[in-house]
Amino acid sequence: MISKATAISLLRVIQQPSRNEFDSSKVLKQFVEDSGIGVLSGRKIIFSESHKVRIRKWLIAEKVDPDASSDSWDHVSRSEALMLGPDEKWSGTGVRCDRISIKTFQGRPLMANGTSLLLPPGANLEWSTQQALTSLQHQDVVVVENWETFEVIDTLQVDLSRVSSNPLVLWRGGHGIASAGASVRFLEAYGRPVWSAPDYDPSGLAIASRLPHLTGVLAPHDEVLRSLLRQSRFHDRYTDQLASSIDSIGATTNSDIQRLWQLILEAENAVPQEWLHQHGHDKAPG
C-alpha cells in the first residue's frame, strides 16, 4: 500500500501543471526508483506531462483521490479519510483528541441536559467537547493539572471555600486522548468561572495564568503552603522552570497567582500538587 507521505508528494506534483522540475526528496526519489516514473537529474526530478498522467493512474489504483489537495487529511475524521485514500489512519485528527475528561466531587451530581447523574466513586466521564458544551450545566469549573490528582480529587486538601457547591471537575488534558487543547477550547466556549488546581511551581502557575476565564487558584492556606515549600526537595524543578514561566506569570493580574508566586519566589522551591493528597485541611466544597 502506498504511504501517506508518498501520496501527498505525488499530489503536489500532479497539481502543479506548469511545473516539471521538483526537488529530489527522499520520498520522490524512492518513488522514481520503484515505479520507473520520472527522471532523476542531479538534485532534481523531472516529471513530464506524460509522467503526471501515469502518476494520476497510479494514485487511482492505490485508491487515492488524485484531485484531493495535499492537506486534505489534516482536519478530517477517520471515516472521511477513507473517502480520500486507502487508510483511515491517514486522518490528521487523532482518535479521541477532541474530548475532555470530567467528573464531580464524590456525592455531587453531574448536571447535564436538565438531569443529574451520580458517577460511581473514582469514575470519570470522557465526552466530546461539542456535546459537553451543549449539555453541561455547572456554575464553575475546577481544572486539575495532573491526572493522578484528578483521579483522587476528593483527597486534594485545598481551600475550596470560594468554589460553588457543585463545580465541574476537568482534567487539564495531555497529549492525544483528552488533549490539553480540547480542554482549553471547552473552557473558552463554556464561559464559566475557572478555578485552577495546579502544581505549586513556576510551570504550574504559568499554565494557570493562561486558562480562559480564570477566577482563582486553589491552594492550601498560605501558612500550610509556606511550610510545605520549606520541606520540599524540588529546588531543581523551581530553577529548571523559572526562565520559561516568568513572563507568563509576570503578565497576569490574577491576585491568587501573584500571591502564590511570592511564596514560591521566597522559598525558591516547588511543591507538586500530589503532596496535597496528604497535607492541608479542606476536602470538598461546602
The residue with cell 480529587 is 153
| pTM of model > 0.85 | no
Domain boundaries, position 41: 4-90
Residue 46: what are its φ and ψ, rounded to 5°? -100, 125
pLDDT at 164: 97
With residue 40 as reference, give the H or E element that holds it: strand 39-41
Residues 85, 205, single domain; the answer is: no
AA identity, residue 18: S
Range of 54-63, 64-73, 256-265 with top mean pLDDT: 256-265
Q: What is the helix (H) or strand (E) element at residue 102, kind and residue range?
A: strand 99-103
Name the band, by pLDDT with cuts 50, 70 and 90, for residue 208: very high
Please tell me whether residues 119 and 169 are part of one structural domain: yes
How far apart are the C-alpha atoms of 260 and 178, rounded to whole Å? 28
Same-domain check for residues 80 and 105 = no
Is residue 24 domain-resident? yes
Question: Is a pLDDT exceeding 50 seen at residue 16?
Answer: yes
Q: What local confidence, expressed as pLDDT, does residue 281 receive?
A: 40
The Cα–Cα gap between 197 and 167 comes to 13
Last-in-domain residue among 58, 90, 122: 90
pLDDT tens digits, one per residue of 93-132: 555 568 899 999 999 999 999 999 999 988 999 999 999 9
Domain assignment of residue 8, yes or no: yes
- pLDDT the model gives residue 2: 80
CA–CA separation, 238 vs 268, rounded Å?
6
241: phi then psi, degrees, rounded to nearest 5: -90, -15
Q: What's the pLDDT score for residue 220? A: 95
